């Protein structure tokens, strides 16, 4: 688990052992829904033997101590220990594992690095966790045809590292890229700072090989794209592990920009900052990245990295433009002018590669610095139309005041993708309640402003209760039908993404125990 | 009530004016067991729907629902003509960068057909631009996916599923797109190559060019000359063996700088200059190149690195090709009349990698893979929509 995300919450560490727990009830009710074949997750010695025959004893965990590590991901509010964790090394082993699960009617969940911030790999109801981290080969890199073939356990940054010096890179760059896997990225349709210009994961996935919940090895799309059929890779990306286990991915690789200019614009008021964002996008400029950090987060970053951020500024914008050497200066100048017109006190241009790298390190490791601000924190992932950023930030400030909860902001401003981080102490139950109320109000306001409750972290188990505020009953029925086309009995990642039977147990927990989660 | 009238072929034309009316049509079709089609009757005569099929035309659903230009997104009803949308966006200096070539094409058909032209090299395709949909499935259920914000991962991505679904999963009624700014300037340059090796070498250099082309198209006239295409819809004379068309954009100085780079990359060829009678604009090129659809026109999607080999082999068998070199897409014209172009293409592609398809034959709904079939029956269990 990445920094700050671990640590059991009081009262929750024994959840999984307790059959009376809401989580257990959730799993049980989920499993007894009409189409679900699993009635109980009973792990027999015979089943374990079958799994051991596939992966060998060294790649199978079943003792309580070992399993505890896998009780949650970056979302630590809800926990559930899997009954078994297996580490397949190839697609054939995944087929055998999934087939055995089918035979014994055991639920299973794929897991990458476990950096999900939405409980995506929570093994709801126990069962088998299929950890994909041993499938980490970069199978092929083809620069001329601009694609790479990777196994799902490849850590995001390792692909870009493998491409270093070639003039190409893999564009989606989640802030967790040093840890998260490409399989996890495909499952969650990850974004990152540079997705403003380059798009999210789905825009870079050409094909996927996966093991269906029935145990078939299926390829959709491939190096030449999807061919003549439906865009099944497009549908698969973002399915949060509920369609099957990804065993191979064909990704597009992107030319490195010839030049970039990285700027830090410094503002004395949040309103001026958000106005600048709105003015830049409104002027039809799409920078490579446009990230905002407010005073609270800047103070923590300065303590951690000594970059030289101005501590008296109310907010800063990290802006990068890239492209042709002949064009970037003009774009940087226009942005500087727009920032100054919006009231920026100063706009600094990164003078050296070292300075630029440090600036990005600060941004991408912002989560690590948050621990300095508060014992616990909860990161939200709302989205609003880009021009509503000023309005939502004013609302967040107002909510913060009203509930007396400190909130800091570090987020993908150019996309309107917010990450308000609510700071609190989880030992203070009353404060915890206020954090929940504040989070709820912020996400509700995102919906009211025409946005969404998740821009990149996914629904997982965390945001299921928002689904029927975003979608109609009919929408959700259609989505449920699509889920059934891939995963008819719901044994693959049960209790995720859709508010099917049983999800209601969850809000109860959500309301009372916000997680101490990694920010981004 | 939904308006209806009869078209030239006596086929009944249904013209709903709202999503509710589309639902009504679907319910009625479910009740009566009739079938519906969103296919236009085109000049090319692609609509071979039998008389029992009732055609749905959304031309009355042609409104802008919401255009917050400063958010760079737009929501429109699916019946709006793409040409109309282009005009509206241009007023705000914005674009949906999908090359539109048919003034009557509706936004719904654009998305359902996953239409893509020359600039897909630089801008990608509709899967990169559709961020929200509303549609009605074969059971009359209205469903939505995505939303109106540029980044959103809530729920399954049915937007992507609907792109290219060619009317077989549902009737799209409303679409939200993310937009791009209009470039200050676009410039096209064409180069000719007499030799396959020089052409390949230029393409290899262009793959890592210092310039940033948005389109990289080619055409290749087969020999012997007697079998060359006769139409002159394209801007380069047909006696040129390999012609490469490259488009760049940006501020004027950025365009000139890029053209200098392109000249270096294409040093093995010869720049084609316009004598004034040829329109060397990107706009002209996008409207014309690749869109002289013929019946039986075959599309090959191969690796960009195999394009020259595939085109050359086809050329040797008497087939002219044109297409999007940067994307590895070739359109093959069957002018020989005596061979099965599909078989020839299949044979060549099996050695180089890729897929072969024909617009009318290879409908995604006819795809035999079990997953596609399951999705088809999920959305349209009674086969209301004709494929
Ligand atoms: C500090 C920090 C910063 C972050 N920053 C960002 C960011 O900038 N942008 C962003 O989008 N996210 C961000 N995240 C969230 C998270 O990193 C992403 O969701 C990431 O894609 C998860 O990858 P993972 O390998 O850790 O997957 P996991 O957390 O292990 O799993 C996530 C989901 O993917 C599924 N899954 C994993 N592997 C497979 C597979 N092989 N087949 C099928 N399903 C699979 C799981 O079942 C689960 O539903 C951040 C998280 C942290 C902790
Ligand atoms: C021989 C031939 C080859 C072609 N090759 C290509 C090619 O390679 N690339 C390319 O991009 N185009 C190609 N086209 C497509 C062509 O450019 C036109 O887009 C096409 O002919 C549109 O006319 P239509 O009558 O098929 O249907 P249209 O009415 O234009 O509709 C196109 C498709 O979208 C569906 N549709 C329309 N409206 C909706 C809606 N509201 N909801 C859901 N579905 C809807 C229709 O059912 C149909 O399948 C080709 C056409 C022909 C005849």
Q: Which of B121, B147, B182 finishes a domain?
A: B182
Q: Could you give the angle at which helices A45-55 and A91-104 cross, rounded to 10 degrees?
A: 170
Together in a domain, B158 and B267: no
pLDDT(A177) > 60: yes
Per-residue pLDDT at A344: 97
Are A273 and A340 in contact by the 8 Å Cβ rule? The answer is no
Q: How far is A42 from chain B (nearest CA, A)?
A: 30
pLDDT tens digits, one per residue of B220-276: 987 544 444 444 444 334 456 899 999 999 999 999 999 999 999 999 999 998 777
Per-residue pLDDT at A14: 27
Instruction: Among A5, A7, A111, A367, say which to mutate for ligand 1: greatest number of ligand atoms within 8 Å of CB.
Output: A111
Q: Which of B120, B154, B182 finishes a domain?
A: B182
Instruction: Among A70, A94, A115, say which to mutate for ligand 1: greatest number of ligand atoms within 8 Å of CB.
Output: A115
Q: Which of B182, B200, B219 finishes a domain?
A: B182
CA atoms within 13 A on the CB side of A56: 4
Domain assignment present for residue B240? The answer is yes
Of B228 and A384, more confident: A384
pLDDT tens digits, one per residue of A363-373: 988 878 888 88
Interface test with A, best of B92, B97, B152 (most A CBs within 10 A): B152
Together in a domain, B170 and B226: no
Together in a domain, B237 and B124: no
Are A295 and A364 in contact by the 8 Å Cβ rule? The answer is no
Domain assignment present for residue B372? The answer is no
CATH number at residue B86: 3.30.465.10
Instruction: Write down the pTM of the prediction.
Output: 0.92
**Number of domains present in the structure of chain B:** 3
The residue contributing the CA closest to ligand 1 atom 35 is: A241
Q: What is the ipTM of this complex?
A: 0.93
Classify domain A138-255 at the CATH class level. alpha beta
Q: Is A284 on the interface with B (CB under 8 A)?
A: yes
pLDDT(B334) > 80: no
Binary contact (B151, A455; C-beta < 8 A): yes
Q: Could you give the angle at which helices A473-486 and B370-379 cross, rounded to 10 degrees?
A: 160
Q: Is A22 on the interface with B (CB under 8 A)?
A: no
Together in a domain, B196 and B172: no
Task: State the DSSP string of A135-146.
Answer: ---EEEEETTTT
Are A111 and A72 in contact by the 8 Å Cβ rule? The answer is no
Together in a domain, B11 and B123: no
Helices marked H in A105-207:
156-162, 182-188, 195-198
Give Cβ neighbours of residue B17 (< 8 Å, ≥ 6 apart).
Answer: B2, B3, B60, B61
Together in a domain, B211 and B265: yes
Per-residue pLDDT at A309: 93
Together in a domain, B25 and B74: no
pLDDT tier at B59, thresholds 50, 70, 90: very high
pLDDT(A240) > 80: yes
Give Cβ neighbours of residue A132 (< 8 Å, ≥ 6 apart).
Answer: A88, A110, A111, A112, A151, A152, A153, A181, A183, A245, A246
pLDDT tens digits, one per residue of A243-268: 999 999 999 999 999 999 999 999 99
Which atom of ligand 2 has the smallest separation from the CA of B112? 34
Together in a domain, B273 and B299: yes
- Beta partners for A148? A141, A251
Per-residue pLDDT at A44: 95
Together in a domain, B210 and B323: yes
CATH number at residue B347: 3.40.462.40
Backbone angles phi, psi at B145, to 5 degrees: -150, 160
- Residue B103 sits in which domain range? 64-182
Q: Which ligand is nearest to the CA of A116?
A: 1
Q: Which helix (H) or strand (E) holds B121?
A: helix B120-123
Together in a domain, B78 and B218: no
Are A375 and A517 in contact by the 8 Å Cβ rule? The answer is no
For chain A, the structural domain boundaries read 138-255
Together in a domain, B217 and B283: yes
Together in a domain, B139 and B201: no
Per-residue pLDDT at A370: 87
Q: Is A188 in the pocket of ligand 1 (CB under 6 A)?
A: yes
Q: How far is B109 from chain A (nearest CA, A)?
A: 15
Q: How far is A518 from chain B (nearest CA, A)?
A: 19
| Alpha-carbon span A504 to A222, nearest angstrom | 39
pLDDT(A4) > 60: no
The residue contributing the CA closest to ligand 1 atom 11 is: A190
């Amino acid at each position: 688990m990445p920094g700050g995300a671990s640590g059991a919450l009081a009262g929750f560490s024994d959840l999984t052992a307790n059959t009376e727990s809401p989580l257990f009830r959730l799993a049980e009710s989920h499993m007894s829904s009409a189409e679900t074949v699993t009635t109980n997750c009973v792990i027999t010695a015979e089943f374990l033997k079958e799994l051991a025959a596939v992966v060998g004893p060294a790649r199978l965990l079943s003792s309580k101590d070992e399993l505890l590590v896998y009780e949650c991901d970056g979302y630590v509010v809800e926990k559930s220990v899997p009954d078994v964790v297996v580490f397949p090394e190839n697609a054939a082993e995944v087929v055998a594992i999934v087939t055995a699960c089918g035979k014994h009617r055991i639920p299973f969940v794929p897991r990458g690095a476990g950096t999900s911030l939405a409980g995506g790999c929570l093994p709801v109801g126990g069962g088998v966790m299929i950890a994909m981290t041993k499938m980490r080969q970069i199978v092929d890199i083809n620069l001329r045809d601009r694609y790479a073939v990777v196994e799902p356990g490849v850590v995001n940054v390792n692909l870009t590292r493998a491409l270093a010096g070639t003039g190409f890179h893999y564009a989606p760059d989640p802030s967790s890229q040093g840890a998260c896997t490409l399989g996890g990225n495909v499952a969650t349709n990850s974004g990152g700072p540079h997705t403003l210009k380059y798009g999210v994961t789905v825009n870079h996935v050409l094909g996927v090989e996966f093991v269906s919940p029935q145990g078939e090895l299926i390829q959709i799309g491939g190096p030449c794209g999807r061919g003549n059929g439906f865009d099944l890779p497009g549908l698969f990306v973002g399915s949060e592990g509920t369609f099957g286990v990804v065993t191979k991915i064909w990704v597009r690789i992107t030319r490195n920009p010839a030049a970039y200019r990285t700027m830090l614009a410094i503002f004395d008021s949040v309103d001026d900052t958000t106005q600048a964002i709105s003015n830049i996008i409104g002027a039809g400029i799409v920078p490579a990245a446009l990230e905002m950090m407010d005073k609270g987060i800047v103070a923590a970053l300065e303590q951690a990295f000594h970059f030289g951020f101005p501590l008296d500024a109310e907010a800063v914008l990290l802006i990068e433009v890239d492209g042709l050497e002949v064009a970037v200066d003009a774009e940087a100048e226009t942005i500087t002018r727009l920032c100054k017109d919006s009231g920026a006190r100063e706009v600094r241009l990164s003078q050296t590669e070292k300075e630029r790298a440090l600036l990005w390190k600060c941004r991408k490791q912002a989560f690590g610095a948050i621990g300095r601000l508060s014992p616990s924190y909860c990161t939200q992932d709302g989205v609003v139309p880009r021009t509503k950023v000023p309005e939502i930030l004013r609302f967040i400030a107002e909510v913060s005041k009203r509930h007396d909860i400190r909130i800091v902001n570090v987020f993908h401003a150019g996309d309107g993708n917010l990450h308000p981080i609510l700071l609190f102490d989880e030992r203070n139950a009353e404060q915890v309640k206020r954090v929940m109320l504040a989070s709820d109000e912020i996400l509700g306001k995102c919906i009211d402003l025409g946005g969404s409750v998740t821009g990149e972290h996914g629904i997982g188990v965390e945001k299921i209760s928002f689904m029927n505020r975003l979608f109609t009953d009919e929408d959700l029925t259609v989505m449920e039908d699509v889920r059934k086309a891939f995963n008819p009995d719901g044994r693959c990642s049960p209790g995720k993404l859709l508010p099917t039977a049983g999800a209601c147990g969850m809000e109860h927990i959500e309301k009372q125990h916000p997680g101490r989660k990694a920010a981004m | 009530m939904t308006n209806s009238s009869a078209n030239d072929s006596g086929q009944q034309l249904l013209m709903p004016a709202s999503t509710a009316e589309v639902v009504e049509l679907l319910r009625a079709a479910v009740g009566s067991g009739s079938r519906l089609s969103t296919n236009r009757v085109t000049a090319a005569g692609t609509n071979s729907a039998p008389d029992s099929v009732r055609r749905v035309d959304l031309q009355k659903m042609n409104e802008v629902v919401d255009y917050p230009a400063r958010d760079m997104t737009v929501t429109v009803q699916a019946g709006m003509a793409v040409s109309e949308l282009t005009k509206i966006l241009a007023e705000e200096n914005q674009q949906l960068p999908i090359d539109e070539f048919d003034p009557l094409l509706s936004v719904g058909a654009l998305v359902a057909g996953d239409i893509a032209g020359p600039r897909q090299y630089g801008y990608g395709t509709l899967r990169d631009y559709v961020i929200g949909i509303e549609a009605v499935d074969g059971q009359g259920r209205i469903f939505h996916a995505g939303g109106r914000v540029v980044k959103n991962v809530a729920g399954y991505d049915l937007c992507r599923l609907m792109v290219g679904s060619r009317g077989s999963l549902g009737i799209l009624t409303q679409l939200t797109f993310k937009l791009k700014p209009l470039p200050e300037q676009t410039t096209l340059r064409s180069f000719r190559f007499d030799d396959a090796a020089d052409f390949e070498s230029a393409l290899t250099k262009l793959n890592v060019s210092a310039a940033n082309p948005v389109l990289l198209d080619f055409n290749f006239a087969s020999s012997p000359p007697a079998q060359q295409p006769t139409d002159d819809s394209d801007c380069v004379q047909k006696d040129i063996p390999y012609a490469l068309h490259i488009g760049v954009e940006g501020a004027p100085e950025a365009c000139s700088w890029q053209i200098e780079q392109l000249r270096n990359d294409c040093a093995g060829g010869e720049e084609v200059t316009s004598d004034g009678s040829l329109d060397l604009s990107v706009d002209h090129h996008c409207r014309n190149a690749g869109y002289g659809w013929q019946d039986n026109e075959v599309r090959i999607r191969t690796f960009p690195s195999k394009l020259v080999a595939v085109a050359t082999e086809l050329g040797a068998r008497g087939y002219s090709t044109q297409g999007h070199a940067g994307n590895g897409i070739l359109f093959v014209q069957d002018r020989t009349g005596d061979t099965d172009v599909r078989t020839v293409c299949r044979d060549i592609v099996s050695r180089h990698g890729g897929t072969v398809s024909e617009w009318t034959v290879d409908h995604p709904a006819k795809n035999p893979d079990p997953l596609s079939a399951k999705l088809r029956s999920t959305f349209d269990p009674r086969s209301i929509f004709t494929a």
